[in-house]
Amino acid sequence: MKLNLLIFFLFGLVIASAQNVELTNPSFEGKPHKGKKSWYVVDDWEDCGFENETGPDVHPGLKNGKPFHGVSKQAADGATYIGLVTRDDESWEAIGQSLRDQKLKNGASYSFSISLAQSVNYVSRSKRTGEQVNYSQAVVLRIWGSNAHNERGELLAESTRVNHFDWQEYHFSLKPTADWNWFILEAFYARPIDYLSNGSLLLDNCSNVLEHRP
């Protein structure tokens, strides 16, 4: 009996000492809108892309009775989700949030999951040609630790090419080699980067960032 109590007590200490990072608004809930030149995307998530570009879109939404950019997919969780693009002018989109009084810790091991998909249609103007094109190329998700919304501190993980139209859950292991208080999700060109493609990526349903003890 005493041995069982000791094991239970020690297990409780391990759980208590693990410091999970809780993301706020992990399902990107907010008012649907097309990307705009503003730091704000949805509550608790900021535009971490290029300063002179419009920011990420919040889907699904309608303008003049038509879905934004032709994207009509329903959310994996809740009501709304985020659309990120890569462009043919060497720019791409990202979102992030300050972890406030939390941080990703140097030497710790974390797990993280998120639902990802492509959209059959993601029609917008090409930055290079000025023509309407379908941002249909498959891209990857990159996960960064940082200490500011406009910086990239450490690349913590990169997905495989997201080339499916159904929502699928992706799982990542994160092992920071420094302390970071910003968490950034970024769309990027799939490798090998033979040319700068117009691509898109849909994001929804983040988990918290869970610390694992050995």
Closest CA to 124 of 95, 88, 82, 166: 88
Position 5 confidence tier, pLDDT thresholds 50, 70, 90: very low
In terms of pLDDT, which residue wins out, 3 or 46? 46
Supply the pLDDT for residue 185.
98
The pLDDT tens digits for 38-86 are: 999 999 999 999 998 999 999 999 999 999 999 999 999 999 999 999 9
In the predicted model, what is the mean pLDDT of residues 164-179? 98
Supply the pLDDT for residue 17.
52
In angstroms, the CA 194 to CA 169 distance is 27
Instruction: Answer yes or no: are the C-beta atoms of 104 and 110 closer than 8 Å.
Output: yes
In angstroms, the CA 60 to CA 204 distance is 12
Q: Among 2.40.100.20, 2.60.120.260, 1.20.1530.20, 1.20.1070.10, what is the CATH number of 20-212?
A: 2.60.120.260
The pLDDT tens digits for 18-42 are: 789 999 999 999 999 999 989 999 9
Q: Is the pLDDT of residue 14 over 70?
A: no
Q: Which residues pair with 92 in a beta bridge?
A: 86
